Structure 1
Amino acid sequence: MTEKEIFERTRKLIYENMIKGRSKNGKKFHYTKPAPERYPFQFFWDTCYHVFILSALGEHDMAREHLISLFAMQEDDGFVGHMIYWNRLKPGRMADFFQSKPQISNLYKSHMSALIQPPLVAQAVAKIYENSGDKDFLAEMLPKLKKYYLWLAKNRDFDGDGLLTIISPFESGIDWKPTYDVALGFPEKKADWRLFLKVVWIDFRNFLNNYNLEKINKKALFRVKDVGFNTIYAQNLQALSRLCHVTNDDDDAYYSSLGDKVTESILKIMYDEKDAAFYDVYGKKNTKIKILTPTVFYPVVIDGIPHSVAKKVMEAHFFNEEEFDTSFPLPSVAKNHPSFNPEESLYIWRGPTWIAHNWFMHQFLMESGYKEESKKMIDSILKLIAKSGFREYYNPFTGEGYGAKDFTWAGLVIDMIQMEKRNKSA
């Protein structure tokens, strides 16, 4: 597949999945559905991914409108939910219903969920600014970003260590991640209907508690600090600090310092020196969950993680043939873990390849001298699209596409291609 072909196919997909309009209360919305049928809502981190794709396509106006839409219903305290149901009478699935507060108004008008997703939005705003130089847009978004990240720090740092806690498996974006089995009291078993009920039960209990975070924290039914989620948080605090600096906003030092605190806690609480891995932790004692998924090496991308640590982690796991070496990287759990299943299933992050992992690690590989590996990330995605089209996830051995069709994430490859070109010309 040529570069021109992949750009054209990605543009076509994005346009076909795009929707715009006005809600019944007069708010404009403009976003891209991750998939036209299965995921018709505006999702938080999917919108951020779409900004990277749109920016790579040169569609800066659309990218701006996507983020304005994402923050159109931001609450006064800064909160933005992980899903926005624009002009929807109800969520598409009953399980989604319990992810919003129990309010009658949610049944008949646009509203947000009560959950969060990885806070990728500061980097998304930075991408638009870097590509367009639009300071007016930056000035419009910066107060909203600051309120949002302050809400996260105030409401989800349960222990005061800087790390954010997720209260549902669906908040990390990595649904059904096998590490969560342990936090749910379902360790070392094959996923089945019992696990499904345990996960839905967590959301239902949060729903009954009206998503009161103080109550949820005390009950600690599901209290996980996800290393991938917190890596993205640290990166985006650094990005927010840089955006503040560009606008001469004195808060740049605050967000830089908070980013440093998160990074230090990732090293102190999540890093296991013996295993050379960063692990999710759960409960009030921060118990490490020693299951190898790609997030065990996510923190190597953070400015502030020692080079010696990053090198150990990459050598121990990323390049380990028994763990993450497949024809189409990266599998969503190590091949040698009992939960690994490369096929299609309800429990979707337990083996198949998801493009988000490739995109997330690509820049680090490219800038750290792993040229062959960074190129393999791109070539693998192009082969997957050529073989199976734009799918939600793929078999890491055969490249067969699974899940939702016309799913947008594979379009991130054009952002990766552009990064490679800029890196070569630098």
Structure 2
Amino acid sequence: MYLSKTIKFTVAVVFLYCLGCNQTKDKELTKNQEKNSFLKVSHNILDYSITPKDSVDKSGLMFSDQGAWFAYGLSKEPNESMGFSGPFLMTQQNGVWLSPSFINALIKVDNNQEPLKLTSANSYASHLEKSYTSDKILVNKKLVFKNGHTALLQTKIKNLGNKNINLDLLWGHAPIFINSVSLSQNNNIIKINSSKSTAKGYVRFPKDTDVELVDSLQYKAKNSFNLKPNQTKAILISQTFIFPEYSWEEEKKQIQDTDFESVLNAQKEEKNKQLKAITENRKPQFNEDKYAEVLAKAHLTLQNNWRIPAGELTNEGLFPSYHYKWFNGFWSWDSWKHAVGLSYYNTGLAKKQMRAMFDFQSEDGFIVDCIFRDTLIEPHNYRDTKPPLAAWAVAKIYEKDKDVEFVNEFYPKLKKYHQWWYNKRDHDQDGLCEYGSTDGTLIAAKWESGMDNAIRFDDSKILKNSEGAYSLDQESVDLNAYLYAEKLYLSHLAEILNNVNDAKSYKAEAEKLKLTIQKQFYDDEDGWFYDTNLEGNTFIKGEGSEGWTPLWAKVATQEQATAVKTKLMNPKKFYTKVPFQTMSADHPRFDPLEGYWRGPNWLDQAYFGVKGLRNYGFNKEADKATIQIINGANGILGKGKSIRENYHPLTGKGLNAENFSWSAAHLIMLLQND
């Protein structure tokens, strides 16, 4: 009897142990299945299929990462020799292709060229990859950015047959497009020199590679080896483009010790973590897979525009669009918007984006409009600044990581910037500011609004305030609403720093300004906010997106917000195929195709409209508008097409620049659960 009980007990223990083991294995299996599951959503989310025909071919998109100043594509031709398109160099001019494919390869098997077929070409937020096959071999190629200077290209070749084969891997390049380039050689390294850039390029082959410089524009290299059946050989090549402020010797040492799989896995994990952050933080009503794809596309758009410090640029940040030649720099209000979008998954980069512009802050608080790496190509623009959204950005970043030191770093700078508006842009000293310029030109004053040719400025004139300070002869509702919001954000930041006096002072200023905005800029008859003349007794009519900025800033009364909401949801005015465009569709000067700010839908303004509705409890309308914006704007949903600078509100067609950063940043904001 005792023995029987003992056996039963032992069997039970063994059963429970095995059950526990199986459960542990199941958990491990589930964990492995879930690993990088968010990264998978980025699979081919943007179309990098391009084989450039000349140096300025922009018929496709380019992949980059880690802030690199160069990028690659996936060749369109399926049976072209093995390689990735490019590189596309943002190290010189306003972005040019060096070659259709600078690191190209042919394979010989037993001295005969092997006919390879391209079987797949894939992109992820972490890397690019291509596969080729023949009856004898399988070839996998992957490209990943190690850092902002170097990309790693791995070629793996597997013997599919049942006998040994001899392989020759022959490297070379398609024609070089740009005549400013020459090549030189040092053992297994090819150096790329350019008279148009201070950056130098380096292609490093494995030590067992035979490398030969044919002439100043052509190289060839060869790897030879034997492969047994089912054996795989991996060859690693690095491509570096590095500016003189960084050390090539240090970079070369790091490359020598690099393990490709470790770099690739680290990038996969980092991108998966970032995508997980913005995907899991979605508003519940946007929990469908298609919205996860929108976020993956937005995330990758920002990644492709990311640049490390170089030349005149002292900090990391994002271009508005690498794809458009005049957007290869940093702009101030773009930067504030980028930083808020980045804050949801990368506060470190968001902070650097803020520093990029404040590194150029003048003693009087002025923030430059835009800055560039090479001022011989384009000079910094000191003629104007941009709308004050910097304190909003700093406050949003603080929300995510509670970094008091960051607030402490920026608070005095933000105070100076805020006060600058009242010192330099309040012509009649009545506490309401105007857009203006530093050089006295009307065009720069319009630029300062960010809405260059909006109809409200059609009849504007310029007035001198003091030396180097000019204002338009009108007070703008959006500018003063932004300044109202800035006061509240500054008050909040002061509280974080235990600066009680400043906190109270900014709140008091905001309260006073609120009443002025509600009274001066709101037309009871129209139910809309407008700019006014300096005296504040004449509205500058024409319903535009500035009319809902008070809702975003929370400065309108509930009654005023309700009236604005009614017009926003009117299909004849703002509730179009892509809702909340920059001016009412029933206005005679509405012209989305010809008017940069006279009708297109800019997603930053659309976001301000949606957020404004939420601020006043109109969540049903805000959800409806968000869905309509994403569904209506051509190419936001689905894989392939890029996010555009703006959209035709009636047709949904994407307009102007591709791969546009602030559009991507505001798509992230639209879907996040704040």
TM-score tier after normalising by the smaller chain length: 0.7 to 0.9
- Say if 1:41 and 1:211 are closer, same or farther in 2 by CA, change over 3 A: farther
Counterpart of 1:353 in structure 2: which amino acid?
Answer: N
* 1:155 lines up with 2:424 in the alignment: yes
| Equivalent residue, structure 2, for 1:194 | none
> CA contact under 8 A between 1:162 and 1:258: conserved in structure 2?
no
| Structure 2 spans left out of the alignment, 5+ residues | 1-288, 437-444
| Equivalent residue for 1:125, pick from 365, 385, 394 | 394
With 283-292 and 400-409 compared, the bigger mean Cα shift is at 283-292
* 1:336 lines up with 2:595 in the alignment: no
Q: Distance in 2 between matches of 1:211 and 1:17?
A: 37
3-state DSSP class of the match of 1:182? coil
* 1:33 lines up with 2:319 in the alignment: yes
Q: Distance in 1 between matches of 2:580 and 2:348?
A: 32
Identity %: 29
| Equivalent residue, structure 1, for 2:669 | 415
* 1:405 lines up with 2:405 in the alignment: no
> CA contact under 8 A between 2:645 and 2:656: conserved in structure 1?
yes
Report Cα offsets for 1:100-127 as digits up to 9, x if no partner: xxxxxxx6xxx45231211001010001
| Equivalent residue, structure 2, for 1:78 | 365
If each structure's helix is expressed as a fraction of its own residues, which one has the higher value?
A: 1
Q: Distance in 1 between matches of 2:624 and 2:642?
A: 18
Q: Distance in 1 between matches of 2:300 and 2:577?
A: 28
Shift of 1:337: 0.9
| Equivalent residue, structure 1, for 2:335 | 47
Q: Distance in 1 between matches of 2:327 and 2:384?
A: 16
Shift of 1:39: 1.5
| Equivalent residue, structure 2, for 1:88 | 375
| Equivalent residue for 2:447, pick from 160, 166, 170 | 170
- Say if 1:283 and 1:160 are closer, same or farther in 2 by CA, change over 3 A: closer
> CA contact under 8 A between 1:17 and 1:34: conserved in structure 2?
yes
3-state DSSP class of the match of 2:388? coil
* 1:349 lines up with 2:585 in the alignment: no
| Equivalent residue, structure 2, for 1:228 | 478
Q: Distance in 1 between matches of 2:381 and 2:607?
A: 27
Q: Distance in 2 between matches of 1:258 and 1:82?
A: 26
Counterpart of 2:643 in structure 1: which amino acid?
Answer: F
| Equivalent residue for 1:365, pick from 613, 619, 628 | 613
3-state DSSP class of the match of 1:414? helix
3-state DSSP class of the match of 1:42? strand
| Equivalent residue, structure 1, for 2:551 | 300
Counterpart of 1:63 in structure 2: which amino acid?
Answer: A
Shift of 1:53: 1.3
Shift of 1:86: 3.6
> CA contact under 8 A between 2:368 and 2:382: conserved in structure 1?
yes
* 1:380 lines up with 2:628 in the alignment: yes
Q: Distance in 1 between matches of 2:433 and 2:619?
A: 33
Q: Distance in 2 between matches of 1:61 and 1:325?
A: 37
Q: Distance in 1 between matches of 2:579 and 2:352?
A: 33
Shift of 1:327: 1.3
- Say if 1:210 and 1:29 are closer, same or farther in 2 by CA, change over 3 A: farther
3-state DSSP class of the match of 1:386? coil
Shift of 1:409: 2.4
Q: Distance in 1 between matches of 2:358 and 2:553?
A: 26
Query: Superposition pairs for residues 200-349 of structure 1, below 5 Å?
Result: 212-213=468-469, 216-217=470-471, 222-249=472-499, 250-283=501-534, 287-315=538-566, 317-342=567-592, 344-345=593-594, 347-349=595-597
Q: Distance in 1 between matches of 2:576 and 2:651?
A: 9
- Say if 1:210 and 1:242 are closer, same or farther in 2 by CA, change over 3 A: closer
Counterpart of 1:169 in structure 2: which amino acid?
Answer: K
Q: Distance in 1 between matches of 2:588 and 2:647?
A: 19
Report Cα offsets for 1:363-414 as digits up to 9, x if no partner: 2323433233212333234332137531111111221101111112221111
> CA contact under 8 A between 2:418 and 2:486: conserved in structure 1?
no
Give RMSD over aligned pairs: 2.3
| Equivalent residue, structure 2, for 1:390 | 643
Shift of 1:242: 0.7
Q: Distance in 2 between matches of 1:157 and 1:263?
A: 17
Query: Superposition pairs for residues 82-121 of structure 1, below 5 Å?
Result: 82-89=369-376, 91=378, 111-121=380-390
Q: Distance in 1 between matches of 2:295 and 2:406?
A: 26
What is the TM-score with the length of structure 2 in the denominator?
0.52
What is the TM-score with the length of structure 1 in the denominator?
0.80
Q: Distance in 1 between matches of 2:536 and 2:630?
A: 43
Q: Distance in 2 between matches of 1:50 and 1:358?
A: 16
Report Cα offsets for 1:231-275 as digits up to 9, x if no partner: 112112111111111111131122222222332221232122222
Report Cα offsets for 1:66-102 as digits up to 9, x if no partner: 11111001111211122123432253xxxxxxxxxxx
Counterpart of 1:179 in structure 2: which amino acid?
Answer: R
Report Cα offsets for 1:206-239 as digits up to 9, x if no partner: 9xx99622xx35xxxx323221222112112111
3-state DSSP class of the match of 1:159? coil
Report Cα offsets for 1:157-206 as digits up to 9, x if no partner: 2222222111211111112101111325xxxxxxxxxxxxxxxxx7xx99
If each structure's strand is expressed as a fraction of its own residues, which one has the higher value?
A: 2
> CA contact under 8 A between 1:73 and 1:112: conserved in structure 2?
no
Counterpart of 1:332 in structure 2: which amino acid?
Answer: T
Q: Distance in 2 between matches of 1:304 and 1:406?
A: 33
| Equivalent residue, structure 1, for 2:305 | 17
3-state DSSP class of the match of 2:308? strand
Higher relative contact order (Cα pairs below 8 Å, separated by 6+ residues) = 1
Report Cα offsets for 1:316-338 as digits up to 9, x if no partner: x2233322121111121111111
Shift of 1:302: 3.5
